[in-house]
Structure 1
Amino acid sequence: MPLHWETFHSQDLLSDVADYRLSRPLMHTTSEASQPWWSALVELQDISIREFEERVQSRFPDYLVIPTDYDADDRDRVEETQFVSIFARKPLLDAFNRHAAEYSVIGLTLGTTVAASDLPDVDTNDDDSNHRKIIEVPEGTVITAVIDDAIAFAHNLFRDGLVSSRVEFATILPTSSEQLSQGRPSGRSYSKAQIDALLREYTTNGLLDEPAFYAAVGLINARSKALSAVALRRSHGTHVMALAAGHSMRDAPNDRPIICALLPSRVTEDSTGQNTLPSFKLALKRLCNQAARFRLPDKSKPPVIFNFSYGNFAGPHDGTSGIDRVIDRYFGPQTKKHDADQTRQIVLPAGNGNLSRIHAGLNLQNAKSKPKGPSWKLDFVAQPDDRTSSHLQMWMPYHATNPPPRFVGVRVTVPSGPTSKTVYVSGNTGQRLVDEQGQEVARLTYRFDGGHTRRGVMIFSVNPTAHQSAIDLARAGRWRINITSCDMGSSDDVQIWIERDETLPGFLPGGRQGYFDNADYVYFNALGAPLPVDPAGTTSSIHRAGTLSGYACGKTPMVVAGFTQSNRLLSDYSAAGPITPSRGKKKANRLGPDAAALADNSPVLTGVLSAGSNSGSLTRMGGTSVAAPRVARLAVQMTSEGVETDRNWLWSLAEAEDPNNKAAITRTGGGQVDIPVDFVLPEKG
């Protein structure tokens, strides 16, 4: 089908990616609704939630729902800036994106569509009073909080008896369109009393009917088009939570309660990370509210350790992204201002993108000399049968002037197709690739990310290469990106990341990860094994260094890499720093991960054992996602012993345990930490 580029005037949008996604046909959202609800995260400035809601409702009645997790105090509080998870319809989101100042909105992150199939049509007892009672716990209690997908929370490793759960609170975030229209966007939540009642109901002759239990709580529904990995042999959330807090029933401690939040399946099906942040913020708010219910004998609140084994590839990687600031709000210095009476820490994985060829760094030292100035060429490969959009971000250096210099100009050539005109930094025009019906296939735009980041970003977005309908598919193959220096200085760097776009284990095939494929990138060593670090003296613009998860660039979280047990080497995929210093700073928040924990038993026997979806089962899973919960488990134990667990503690511990560490600190931090996890033998139940 003939394609051609056309010039359009860029609008002053809060989010080009949100605009691109909202402009796609509904088939790209997998929603059956003609006017679907979307989850979103808005950043408000100098306005209360209540006033914001009133302002919106006066113009867009019934187009906004704010979760009930925000109580009266939350809604009346005016802060300089605050993040709020919302549910909204497309016309309102478009208004936020185009007329942000009218609503005091300074940031917008689009989540996922919310369809009726997200929540099975079953009855549960969701008595809100059960979730507000004070929970008395013994001295030495430390709470483990897990945010993940598909957590089989009735597993025997999360119980202290046949029909007694250690899970004090579980919330399932998927929400139906019907609930939204009734103003109840809370998903489903279960207290320990409710979980225990269901365990009693579905246990016969000492055995739990787990399919019936999970059908009752809405995690399994054969009639639904949405897939829950709890129905499969292995589920990511169950595996992770068992490593963080799993214990044999007969040895289960009474001072290790669990609270957990299950993210919507649509969030985890689309692994770009764009979908995750609104749900993560809502889950974080909800679990922090629940953690505040616990009381020690002296009436103080026990500490809580969070684990969030998710990540992404893109973002500014300088600690100023939305998720970095959300985490800093709940776990950083700001926490003392809002929640001074409860200690909280969070553990994140470093990411698995080290060998994925998703990062490039451009500077004058690796540029090619051309008559029009120094230039670079990057070959971005869009894979066939990719059923989700792909996004590439080119982040400019920070510069004190406003507007910033015109660092570079960018052109894109379609596989066996036309080349766009040049889009310049600080320009007000973009390029749009359309087919002969006028359907948009790809887009190249520039915008300046103000606020905390204060850096420009060039965004290239491309449609799926496969779908049920073929009217607006992008071409699979090699998209040539030509970048020419305009005003780059000798110390300037342009950092480029391809957003994560791959199907996660346990979900239907959808995304396939795009990657860079330049000839000067050396992938293998002389023996044919993948090189885990950039070779010395390389002139390639594509780097392994700098692949650290875009979620893990803040100064607050404990960030964990993964190592392999048999050879005591960092797992090849384990992502690395460094990251970029934020505006006005000479040093970045971190060099890379803080430490490394076990992620693989050997290069052949990859992954580690942990809970499968069914009680009594163990399955194998790898990645830094399974290294992080080991550190969370250790942090819980050490916190109960009075140790102040934070990044400095983890780094110092790793240095003490691994004094001969020879790996670069940008990959391993302080070193490797051995943290045993023993589930004993599988039990009945």
Structure 2
Amino acid sequence: MALSQEVKTMSELSDDWGVPQDWWVMPDKQWEGGVDPTSTRAQDPYFWWFMQSGPLSMLDAKAWPQRIYFSAERNLSCPSEQVADICKNFHLSIPKAYDGRRYMTFYMDVQALRESLWANWSPPVGQSDEIAQSGFEGSVAEKVFSLQYAECFHRLAMGIPVRDLVPTEPPPDTSHANDVNTAPSVPKGTAPDVVLGLIDDGLPYLHAALRNSSGTGSRMLWIWDQRWSAPSSHTTFAGASSFGYGAVSVSTEIDNSIGKLLRQTSTEASEYAQHGFTDMRRRNSHGAAVLQLLAGDSSVCGPSAPMRWPTKQTSALPVIGVQIPFRQSSRRSLAGWLAVHVIDGMNFIAEQAKSLSATHLYVNLSLGAYGGPHDGSAIVDGAIDELVAKSAPTQVQPIAATGNTAGTRRNPSNWSGPRLPSGVHARGTWKKDRPLIFTLRVPPDKAEDTFLEIWFDQELPLRAPIKVSLEGPDGRVIEQKSFFSRSRSNSISPSSAPNETRIEQHGILFFRKVSQSRSEVKEGTKWRSMVLIALAPTRRPENGRRCVPPGDWTVTLAFDGSIKSIEGIVETVQDYRVDAWVERDDTWVGSRRGQQARLINAHGEQAAVTDENTFTSLAHGNSVMCAGAIDGTTREASPYSAEHRAGWIPSYSAVADRSPLRRGVLVGGTHSGTMRFASGTSMAAPQVVRSLANIALNASAWAEELPAPGVPDAKKGLELP
């Protein structure tokens, strides 16, 4: 839906922010990423999709979230005064932790922005209230969208829109200052040399395996609950996070709960409920398994994994935890929200470790998405690398799980042969004389949007003769010709019911420069072009949004000879290497898990589905160590353990399966005394962290903890014993 012409003109926006008014294209029912191809500004395709599938489609106040979070790369040459003006103009809030930083996160207070625009809003005379309201919402959309053209950012990527924000309030009778950096109860003279950190969900901070040496307190010094809508009536945390959302608890408050447990005046379940951690009623959680492999006392929880811990030193190390809002954010693609929470979480953990004068900090990242450039140029990669470089005197080492993205299905026609690839990744070469075809199989009853990222190995030239077409299961097609097509395409949408809310259901977004990939090279700034295929859910959601039909969706990259003659400009036609990744949908442990869309080789297309280069999105930074999974019996890589790309293999691998037939290792549950089996590279990463921590504590333990330096295996890296 195009913005109302009676609202404010695009020329005003163009003069202020350089928005190319000639390329502001938003056709009806489906749309094409119409943006000036000569623009030097990078675009975030996910931001375009969010705006068109919500606010710009409905033009209604109900379509707007209260906040929109972003991750960004700042233009350090931009004066601080200009940054302050932009923050004021757009109602942005940048945490103090990112002062002077190149990479950051921030949020836009959309509610405050709408109020400020409303104060100066003058609807045209003679319009009905409904039309005037739509016009106002259109002006809000223009304002929000123009943030992409702010000169103080090289690039920005949208995180998650927050619609159910409830401010966290400290309890009125608290004796703790509302300062996150309030020092926890660390015994005098025992300042830790090594601190462990992790970012995960469902962290059981009251578990007996995490008690201190006296058994009367917890080794969890801080835990930041990043949920933005934690009910304030059920929150007893000492203070709100300095990042503007969530709540932080220090060890003194956790120790108070442990005291009640020891006096048998309360239970773990009731204490979790009192603190607002209602998810801890579940018997299992991903974070519980990871946390106890990372820092659990084996004398309390048992030998959780078939690994040797020659010392109990790591069972006494302090821990800083960040609990991501997984339950609130699942049922959505991981495309944007995860990066924001990981960047903030990493900076929070590093800030607290530095306040303890710790010399070493090891952070476990047993999570990740599937999309992204997969070359270390994403915003989250740069943010983690910058944090590690600027964390002195504390040495920060992130360890990320490589991911469970390798295929485990057997080939029915060759049962003993290689396993079928998972369908997360496909690769091919686009040639002038041969179209490149990808087939995306979208399952029925899928509650999340489906995203397919198609990456070119470089930034395409201005008049690249490529057109992209999307054919639905019913055979109808829409096309996007290069970067500047303005024509409407035939809709493949089913007819809408009378008075149904119209929300866009699919789109082709094709940009020369995308904010997800930018790197500095000798020749200057390197960008990569990307096509984003966005599909609405195949299950009809409760908000009345239309769904798309399940089945095989065919994406074709083909040569378009008509582009060569436009304005007399002829581009050199060359071959391009193309990679496609299906973005991950995820759910929390214990919930109903929907099916994941995947790529298939359906028609003998030139793009081959492969498991190569399927590390998760957090495992590509230059400063990140990667952990893969191996089988404890065969010592071979577990079949699901993600495969490497050229020059990038796992740093280490640890046992995450007992044998080919007995998957998983023994891990702890959410409550003391409970155990279960869990497998995956998520279980390997904390074992690598623990071994590295032992080395930092006792250098002589190297021979016992880690393998001798040598040539790492191409699939496994170096194996832990």
State if a TM-score over 0.5 links the two structures.
Answer: yes
Are positions 1:290 and 2:320 aligned together?
Answer: no
1:7-406 to 2 correspondence within 5 Å?
Answer: 9-10=34-35, 14-25=43-54, 35-46=65-76, 51=81, 54-56=84-86, 58-60=88-90, 63-67=91-95, 70=96, 74-75=98-99, 77=100, 81-89=102-110, 95=143, 97-102=145-150, 104-116=152-164, 123=171, 125=174, 127-129=177-179, 131-133=181-183, 138=190, 141-160=193-212, 161-176=214-229, 185-205=244-264, 209-220=267-278, 228=279, 230-248=280-298, 256-265=317-326, 266-295=328-357, 301-331=358-388, 335=389, 338-355=390-407, 356-363=422-429, 373-398=433-458, 403=461, 406=464
Q: Which residue of 491, 497, 505 maps to 1:441?
A: 505
Partner AA of 2:159 in structure 1: G
Q: Distance in 1 between matches of 2:471 and 2:183?
A: 60
Q: Which residue of 470, 474, 480 maps to 2:554?
A: 480
Q: Which residue does the alignment assign to 2:236?
A: none
Q: 1:39 to 1:506 in 2, by over 3 A?
A: farther
Q: Distance in 2 between matches of 1:603 and 1:512?
A: 24
Instruction: Deviation per CA, 1:488-542: give whole Å up to 9, x if none.
Output: 9887411111111243423455x53111122478xxxxxxxxxxxxxxxx97611
Q: Which residue does the alignment assign to 1:556?
A: 623
Q: Which residue of 627, 631, 635 maps to 2:692?
A: 635
Instruction: Deviation per CA, 1:177-228: give whole Å up to 9, x if none.
Output: 99999998242212111211122134434x86111111222211xxxxxxx2
Q: Distance in 1 between matches of 2:353 and 2:33?
A: 50
Q: Distance in 2 between matches of 1:147 and 1:105?
A: 27
- 1:571 offset after TM fit, Å? 1.3
1:388-537 to 2 correspondence within 5 Å?
Answer: 388-398=448-458, 403=461, 406=464, 408-424=466-482, 434=493, 436=495, 439-447=503-511, 448-449=513-514, 451-452=518-519, 453-466=526-539, 467-485=541-559, 492-507=576-591, 509=593, 511-519=594-602
Q: Which residue does the alignment assign to 2:720?
A: 673
Bigger-Rg structure (1/2) = 2
Partner AA of 1:392 in structure 2: L
Q: Distance in 1 between matches of 2:292 and 2:395?
A: 23
Q: Distance in 2 between matches of 1:247 and 1:373?
A: 62
Q: 1:641 to 1:408 in 2, by over 3 A?
A: farther
Contact 1:363–1:490 under 8 Å retained in 2: no
The number of aligned residues is 597
Q: Which residue does the alignment assign to 1:527?
A: none
- 1:656 offset after TM fit, Å? 5.3
- 1:148 offset after TM fit, Å? 0.9
Q: Distance in 1 between matches of 2:33 and 2:194?
A: 55
- 1:573 offset after TM fit, Å? 1.2
- 1:408 offset after TM fit, Å? 3.6
Partner AA of 1:396 in structure 2: F
- 1:56 offset after TM fit, Å? 3.7
Of 120-129 and 315-324, deviating more is: 120-129
Q: 1:387 to 1:595 in 2, by over 3 A?
A: same
Q: Which residue does the alignment assign to 2:419?
A: none
Q: 1:497 to 1:428 in 2, by over 3 A?
A: farther
Contact 2:404–2:681 under 8 Å retained in 1: yes
Contact 1:14–1:98 under 8 Å retained in 2: no
Contact 1:6–1:433 under 8 Å retained in 2: no
Instruction: Deviation per CA, 1:295-330: give whole Å up to 9, x if none.
Output: 3xxxxx321111011111111111101111111111
Partner AA of 1:175 in structure 2: W
Q: Which residue does the alignment assign to 2:410?
A: none
Contact 1:426–1:446 under 8 Å retained in 2: no
Contact 1:350–1:575 under 8 Å retained in 2: yes
Partner AA of 1:518 in structure 2: N
Q: Distance in 2 between matches of 1:182 and 1:172?
A: 9
Q: 1:637 to 1:178 in 2, by over 3 A?
A: closer
Q: Distance in 2 between matches of 1:7 and 1:630?
A: 47
Secondary structure, counterpart of 2:292 in structure 1: helix
Q: Distance in 2 between matches of 1:488 and 1:287?
A: 49
Q: How big is the alpha-carbon RMSD for the aligned residues of Structure 1 and Structure 2?
A: 3.9
Partner AA of 2:244 in structure 1: P
Q: 1:360 to 1:656 in 2, by over 3 A?
A: same
Contact 1:66–1:87 under 8 Å retained in 2: no
Contact 2:192–2:318 under 8 Å retained in 1: no
Q: Distance in 1 between matches of 2:30 and 2:52?
A: 17
Q: Distance in 2 between matches of 1:627 and 1:644?
A: 20
Secondary structure, counterpart of 2:650 in structure 1: coil
Q: 1:644 to 1:184 in 2, by over 3 A?
A: same
Secondary structure, counterpart of 2:530 in structure 1: strand
Q: 1:442 to 1:322 in 2, by over 3 A?
A: same
Q: Distance in 2 between matches of 1:610 and 1:260?
A: 18
Secondary structure, counterpart of 2:691 in structure 1: helix
Q: Distance in 1 between matches of 2:339 and 2:387?
A: 14
Q: Which residue of 599, 606, 611 maps to 2:668?
A: 611
Gaps of 5+ in 2: 1-27, 114-139, 233-238, 301-311, 408-421, 497-501, 520-525, 561-570
Secondary structure, counterpart of 2:608 in structure 1: coil
Partner AA of 2:470 in structure 1: V
Q: Distance in 2 between matches of 1:620 and 1:518?
A: 34
Secondary structure, counterpart of 2:534 in structure 1: strand
Partner AA of 1:505 in structure 2: V
Contact 1:40–1:111 under 8 Å retained in 2: yes
Contact 1:38–1:111 under 8 Å retained in 2: yes
Of 181-190 and 453-462, deviating more is: 181-190
Q: 1:471 to 1:286 in 2, by over 3 A?
A: closer
Contact 2:197–2:320 under 8 Å retained in 1: yes
Q: 1:456 to 1:137 in 2, by over 3 A?
A: farther
Secondary structure, counterpart of 1:542 in structure 2: strand
The alignment's TM-score, normalised by the length of structure 1, stands at 0.77
- 1:429 offset after TM fit, Å? 7.6
Q: 1:479 to 1:153 in 2, by over 3 A?
A: same
Partner AA of 2:683 in structure 1: V
Partner AA of 2:557 in structure 1: I
Contact 1:520–1:540 under 8 Å retained in 2: no
Of 308-317 and 248-257, deviating more is: 248-257
Q: Which residue does the alignment assign to 2:134?
A: none
